[in-house]
Amino acid sequence: MSKVIVLDPGHGGSDPGAVGHGLREKDLTLNIVKRIGAMLKNYEGVKVIYTRTDDRFIDLSERAAIANKAKADFFLSVHINASGSGKGTGFETFIYNGNVSSATIAYQNVIHAEIVKAIGNVRDRGKKRANFAVLRQTNMPALLTENLFIDNPSDAAKLKTEQFLQQVAYGHVIGLEKAFGLKKKGVKDDVTGHWAEQSIRKAMKAGIIRGHSDGRYGPDEPVTRAQLAVILERLGLLKD
């Protein structure tokens, strides 16, 4: 049960997209998409396909064709907004304004909500529908996100920080996780097959010594003096 997700960084090459305050939409969209792709590596059964991974022009029909050819489960296009006046602000998402599946609407609902949560104090402009080529020409559920306004001074200040771009990406990833029921890759079991496996399992079962919070046990790591004191306490060897 693997999911094919196409990540589409808006614009590129000769098409910078919107520009403002020293920023270009094409750079920000690629930055965010690369972060999304890197985080998706932590999930089981996700195949990511990019419409571009560098600064090149790809026309809209070709972007949709990449997703259609791959029989993708989802198409996610990342953009930055601009209003012209410099006064527009906030976050919004789009699905196609023609016939869409109920899944498309459900995915917009959950992914939109998770991005809003992740980006903090940003105006939520709402879940919208539009006749955008990449939404119309893709055969699978498709979503386009508009992540703040490049020509708005306070939005641009946010878009200039790596921290904020990471929050934007994180929101997309948690949204995808919830929309598709993605599961994080399990941490490697480092006890199975160890020469002391039986004793380790008994010690864990008895609650004498536990593994790390990330699920590793670390069978060959040394015990600190503090851990030793706790172990002696758990064994009932210490008097009050």
Task: Assess whether 221 carries a catalytic annotation.
Answer: no
Any contact of residue 79 with Zn ion (CB under 5 A)?
Answer: yes
The residue among 39, 76, 35, 40 whose CA lies nearest residue 162 is 35
Please state the φ and ψ torsions of residue 143, each to the nearest 5 degrees. Answer: -135, 140
Q: Which residue is nearest to Zn ion (CB)?
A: 79
Please choose, out of 10-18, 113-121, 175-183, 207-215, the segment that lies near Zn ion by the rule CB under 5 A. 10-18
The residue among 84, 96, 158, 87 whose CA lies nearest residue 121 is 158
CB of 63 to Zn ion, least distance (A): 12
Strand order in the sheet with 124-130: 46-50, 3-9, 74-81, 142-149, 91-96, 124-130
The amino acid that residue 129 corresponds to is R
Any contact of residue 63 with Zn ion (CB under 5 A)?
Answer: no
Please choose, out of 50-58, 72-80, 159-167, 211-219, the segment that lies near Zn ion by the rule CB under 5 A. 72-80
Burial of 95 (0-12, 13-18, 19+ CB in 10 A): buried
Instruction: Kindly name the residue from 62, 146, 162, 197 that is annotated as catalytic.
Output: 146
3-state DSSP call for residue 228?
helix
Please choose, out of 62-70, 74-82, 104-112, 228-236, the segment that lies near Zn ion by the rule CB under 5 A. 74-82
Interacting positions 15-34 with Zn ion (CB under 5 A) = 17
Total residues in contact with Zn ion, by rule CB under 5 A: 3
Cβ closest to Zn ion, residue 46 vs residue 156: 156
Cα separations (Å) of 99 from 6, 103, 226?
21, 12, 63
Among 3, 9, 10, 27, binds Zn ion (CB under 5 A): 10
**Site residues, Zn ion (CB under 5 A):** 10, 17, 79
Known catalytic residues are 146
